Amino acid sequence: MATNWKFIIDESVTDPDDIARAFGLDLESTRRVSKTYPVKINPYFLKLAKDNGEALSRQVVPDIEELSPRNTACPKDPIMEEAYSPVTNLTHRYHDRVLFLVSDTCPVHCRFCTRKRKVGKGLTVTDETIDEGIEYIRGKPEIRDVLLSGGDPLLLEDDKLTDILDRIRGISHVEVIRIGTRVPGTLPQRVNEELARLLSRFHPLYIHTHFNHPAEITAESSIACRILADSGIPLSSQTVLLSGINDDASTLETLFRSLLSLRVRPYYLFQSDMVRGSEHFRTPLESGIKIMETVRGRTSEMALPRFAVDLPEGKGKVVLDSGHIEDDGRGKVIVTTLEGEKVKYPDPAPSG
Ligand SMILES: *Cc1c(COP(=O)(O)O)cnc(C)c1O
């Protein structure tokens, strides 16, 4: 694509007064919210949000609700990334993999961000934090899988990104590199042949992208996904379940099926985290489970992500498909069928 993505990013709207004018919001409260949680919307997503109404605009536009009591009562870091952080910007919670923040900027500031406490205000990535993170990974042979995030790693300049990937690929025990990015859906102009070629030098490299609503799938974002998929990068989506935005089965069914057509495999549907400033996006657990049951009956397993919750107090990610499964305590598993019938399923006898 011919448009220069850096130009688009430079034109991002970050002034609350401009946002209030663009979306017809109350000036005073938009200013107040933005002071605590900075606003950023690039022109591509701004136009998309204006054209598509609340499902997109609520994802990026400040809401006075962010400062309400139910929000101020929430922890800033419920999944406790900092507590599991041996060096700045790296979280090592699961034995064989790490989350490594290598960028401190994003194409838009999502109002439901898990790292709302620090994105746009205090998340700092420097050459030193990157060196430290890489040295940490090098010193831990159990780390097979490095998940790059931020901020958005694809907002790094090509040479910076190449340098980081080169050094991680140079560590012999690292098998898989993953990039978490919302770029394909929020700044698709960033994805071009050059970027795809750059990334494909580091296979096996996976991209977890992030789409929340069918309206994010445009001609531009479709091209971005095609370019990446054509260069052999397996794509998946980490969708966040958001109250009033996508918390109904037909919206998500459409989204998952559309993603699959773009060669993006739905990977996780995340329960929105109990993060200060994002609490009003959170849905009851039951609602995610129900939605997934409905979608499951209507489409192929190919289109189904796993519904997962990252438990508060740092208790970790849990996939919630266990509602279908109970243990009867005698080595038999009771499986509940789609029709609601409970069926005994004998596990194979242990070997040896
Ligand atoms: C989610 C997460 C991962 C990756 O988890 P997968 O289930 O392997 O995708 C790794 N580290 C941290 C800290 C995470 O939160």
Position 43 in a domain: no
How far apart are alpha carbons 306 and 319 in whole angstroms? 6
Q: How many whole angstroms from 31 Cα to the centroid of ligand 1? A: 34
Position 129 in a domain: yes
Least confident of 125-139, 158-172, 183-197, 275-289: 275-289
Q: How confident is the model at residue 1 (pLDDT cuts 50, 70, 90)?
A: very low
Position 159 in a domain: yes
The answer, yes or no, to whether residue 246 has pLDDT greater than 90, is yes
Closest residue (by CA) to atom 7 of ligand 1? 317
Mutate to test the pocket of ligand 1, among 87, 94, 102, 236 (most ligand atoms within 8 A of CB): 94
Q: What is the DSSP letter of 141?
A: T
Position 297 in a domain: yes
Mutate to test the pocket of ligand 1, among 77, 84, 91, 97 (most ligand atoms within 8 A of CB): 97
E-state strands within 38-160 = 90-94, 97-101, 145-149
- Ligand 1 nearest atom to the CA of residue 97, by list position: 10
**pLDDT in the model for residue 203:** 97
Q: How many whole angstroms from 100 Cα to the centroid of ligand 1? A: 10
Mean pLDDT for all residues in the chain: 93
Task: Note whether 274 and 311 are within 8 A (CB).
Answer: no
Q: What is the DSSP letter of 349?
A: P
For the annotated catalytic residues, the residue numbers are 93-94, 97, 106, 110, 113, 115, 273, 310, 317
314-351: pLDDT as tens digits:
778 888 875 555 666 666 677 777 677 787 777 667 66
List the beta bridge partners of residue 108: 41
The answer, yes or no, to whether residue 352 has pLDDT greater than 90, is no
The answer, yes or no, to whether residue 2 has pLDDT greater than 50, is no
**pLDDT in the model for residue 351:** 67
**pLDDT in the model for residue 339:** 73
Ligand 1 pocket (Cβ < 6 Å) reads 91, 93-94, 97, 99, 147, 317
- Identify which has the larger pLDDT, 120 or 6: 6
Q: Which of helix, strand or coil describes residue 255? A: helix
Backbone phi, then psi, for 104, in 5-degree steps? -110, 15
Across 146-156, average pLDDT: 97
- Ligand 1 nearest atom to the CA of residue 317, by list position: 1
The answer, yes or no, to whether residue 54 has pLDDT greater than 70, is yes
Position 64 in a domain: no
Backbone phi, then psi, for 260, in 5-degree steps? -60, -40
How far apart are alpha carbons 88 and 215 in whole angstroms? 36
Closest residue (by CA) to atom 2 of ligand 1? 99
Position 10 in a domain: no
Q: How confident is the model at residue 120 (pLDDT cuts 50, 70, 90)?
A: confident
74-114: pLDDT as tens digits:
889 888 888 899 999 999 999 999 999 999 999 999 999 99
**pLDDT in the model for residue 332:** 67
- Ligand 1 nearest atom to the CA of residue 268, by list position: 9
Position 186 in a domain: yes
Mutate to test the pocket of ligand 1, among 77, 82, 89, 99 (most ligand atoms within 8 A of CB): 99
Q: How many whole angstroms from 271 Cα to the centroid of ligand 1? A: 14
Closest residue (by CA) to atom 12 of ligand 1? 99
% of residues, the chain, pLDDT over 90: 79
20-53: pLDDT as tens digits:
999 999 999 999 999 999 999 999 999 999 999 9
Q: How confident is the model at residue 137 (pLDDT cuts 50, 70, 90)?
A: very high
- Ligand 1 nearest atom to the CA of residue 84, by list position: 13
The answer, yes or no, to whether residue 258 has pLDDT greater than 90, is yes
Q: How many whole angstroms from 142 Cα to the centroid of ligand 1? A: 15
CATH number at 85 reads: 3.20.20.70
**pLDDT in the model for residue 327:** 67
Position 314 in a domain: no
Closest residue (by CA) to atom 14 of ligand 1? 99
Backbone phi, then psi, for 279, in 5-degree steps? -60, -30
Q: Report the predicted TM-score, pTM, of the whole model to 2 decimal places.
A: 0.93
Domain residue limits at 164: 71-309
Cis previous bond, 204, omega within 30: yes
Q: How many whole angstroms from 99 Cα to the centroid of ligand 1? A: 7
- Ligand 1 nearest atom to the CA of residue 99, by list position: 11
How far apart are alpha carbons 66 and 276 in whole angstroms? 8
Q: How many whole angstroms from 7 Cα to the centroid of ligand 1? A: 32
- Ligand 1 nearest atom to the CA of residue 81, by list position: 13
**Per the structure, how many domains does the chain have?**
1
Across 5-19, average pLDDT: 96
Q: How many whole angstroms from 177 Cα to the centroid of ligand 1? A: 12
